[in-house]
Structure 1
């Protein structure tokens, strides 16, 4: 949007033509051996600062062009102004921030209501908030809990929220350390859930009366839809393979029976896999036919062409540390959220930050 063409207007497309050619087309390589780590290195791409001094930021959602950011441990929701300063919109009450738990994903519906996934004392939950005021004066209303009692632990909490093109709310729930729950359709652990904006079960979900959309997941933290409605998900593996999956309603993705490409008829294989040391894929965005994947341990921004999701390229390798989220901004830029203050990174003086890369043609 025009309001972001100042500090956030960042990079002129004419100056970035050669860089964008690398960023958006370097994925066009021959399909690699599926049993090997996949991805090719690529040159650095310019990234401009949007905001700095954040504490373990996790998710970004846009309210009519105004960015809202969640901080995992403080449970604060922040508004980012055009000049990069932040102000507190509100604090999600009752958050039990321990390990990987805390205030995680944010999403907004078409009525400008804010949804937050957070860890409470009785498990993970999804809450909805009305927002009052305009840019520079937003305030958080009282929560409506639409789903609670989700499995939680100091690890594998999932936490990504996103509205699909069907208007339904999707939520990723990790196995919370209980591996077998991922194969148990009676548990919501290790699943991708699909629900109405009120938390009800849609009538066309694959399992009658259940929020479960897909299962056999260890810890999904990235969701993105291609233009044709195909849903992609990134998933943390254990010791062997991280995954990029195409999600089919009702499908079983194998955890903990298999990890990565197993070629077994009873499980759906990922379209791409990476060594956890090179990846740990978290948030993901789709822009103009390319998936952008933020990686934590790998400290890279990975690009995957939707036309051939078995291939990928790496960018920004090691330049900004751990990357938690990749988000398509309303002005067409790609926003990248770093995560160096989460207890596992090596923070610099300005961390954590939100960076912007112009990926417009």
Structure 2
């Protein structure tokens, strides 16, 4: 088993595959009501905008669903944060089938089995990537969906009860992008030698990608508090959602080498001399806690946890238009949103994570067809 480590010691990792103190004020730190082929990228789709009035349930009774990624045929893989299971959900619905289980997942607080990504070459390599919290760190493993030994491709990302990041996605360039959190150590976000509080850009093998801002470093951007959503628009631009602390949550346009300010700046702030980059959109933490992010038909869709709504934000060149709140209080906490190969928008709820009001059928996977 090969391992790419940033820091820390290697841990034993098993994966059984089958066919069958930190900051305060936001998201999971606050209780309910408190102050090429399809991959895991949420990229633009040639289909029309999703019909948010025509939602249908494709799966129910899940245990804190977190990661969501599509296979080329349209079926989805869903990660359960606390159980470590990976389920296959058919595009047409039906009971989810367990296809893998990541052993060694240390589920506590916001940690556990988090993001999923499907290899851009899945048709030939059968590889799935998973980001999860282990005993000593957060790490990324890949494995063949049909079975076989797992491979740790990157480890040594700081872990904590909160701010573990966890979103992974393949970009249009075929590289693996990773959103991490500061793990409660705010100074790490500004430390270029730490992978915490960053967006990383890796090769599929887990090496620092060619063309990164600093040769030999996996760091693509820094100054982040807790990155939760990654998505590209039709022009190949990367956008990311980020949890703020007490004041505002953010959507950022991510450019290589840019510093997004945390912990010196929350939201818009001192950009004198171009040191920090301001977000494009902000919300109060009560309205958002923006987790998943998807882009399709010229529009960004942001899943809100504490805000219990789906924010719909038109793209307008290098800017974002006026956000509108949809699905407000309809399904509770929304964790992940992704665009399916057929252009439909899939959304997962997160009401069983200990911070939501559990509703009948929770947690669920919802599908909103493209018009």
With structure 1 as the length reference, what TM-score do the two structures score? 0.85
In structure 1, C-alpha distance between the alignment counterparts of 2:368 and 2:286, rounded to whole Å: 25
Given candidates 248, 254, 257, the residue that maps to 2:261 is 254
In structure 2, C-alpha distance between the alignment counterparts of 1:343 and 1:180, rounded to whole Å: 29
Query: Any runs of at least 4 consecutive aligned residues in structure 1 with deviations exceeding 6 A, and if so which?
Result: none
In structure 1, the residue matched to 2:329 is: 318
In structure 2, the residue matched to 1:125 is: 139
CA shift digits 1:150-194 (9 cap, x unpaired): 111110000000000000000011000001100010111100000
CA shift digits 1:9-45 (9 cap, x unpaired): xxxx9xxx9xx6xx79xxxxxxxxxxxxxxxxxxx73
In structure 1, the residue matched to 2:106 is: 96
Q: Does structure 1 residue 305 correspond to structure 2 residue 319?
A: no
Aligned residue-pair number: 315
In structure 2, the residue matched to 1:289 is: 298
In structure 2, the residue matched to 1:221 is: 228
In structure 2, C-alpha distance between the alignment counterparts of 1:47 and 1:202, rounded to whole Å: 39
Segments of 5+ residues of structure 1 without an aligned counterpart are: 1-12, 25-43, 133-139
Segments of 5+ residues of structure 2 without an aligned counterpart are: 1-46
Given candidates 237, 247, 263, the residue that maps to 1:240 is 247
CA shift digits 1:29-70 (9 cap, x unpaired): xxxxxxxxxxxxxxx733211111001000211112221100
> Could you tell me how far 1:143 is from its partner in structure 2?
1.1
In structure 2, C-alpha distance between the alignment counterparts of 1:310 and 1:259, rounded to whole Å: 21
Given candidates 200, 206, 229, the residue that maps to 1:199 is 206
In structure 2, C-alpha distance between the alignment counterparts of 1:142 and 1:323, rounded to whole Å: 33
Once the two structures are overlaid, the 10-residue window that deviates more, 81-90 or 66-75, is 81-90
In structure 2, the residue matched to 1:276 is: 285
Q: Does structure 1 residue 56 correspond to structure 2 residue 64?
A: yes
In structure 2, the residue matched to 1:166 is: 173
> Could you tell me how far 1:301 is from its partner in structure 2?
0.5
2:312 aligns to what SS in structure 1? strand
In structure 1, the residue matched to 2:6 is: none
CA shift digits 1:117-145 (9 cap, x unpaired): 0000120000001111xxxxxxx432100
Once the two structures are overlaid, the 10-residue window that deviates more, 120-129 or 306-315, is 306-315
In structure 2, the residue matched to 1:348 is: 359
2:286 aligns to what SS in structure 1? helix
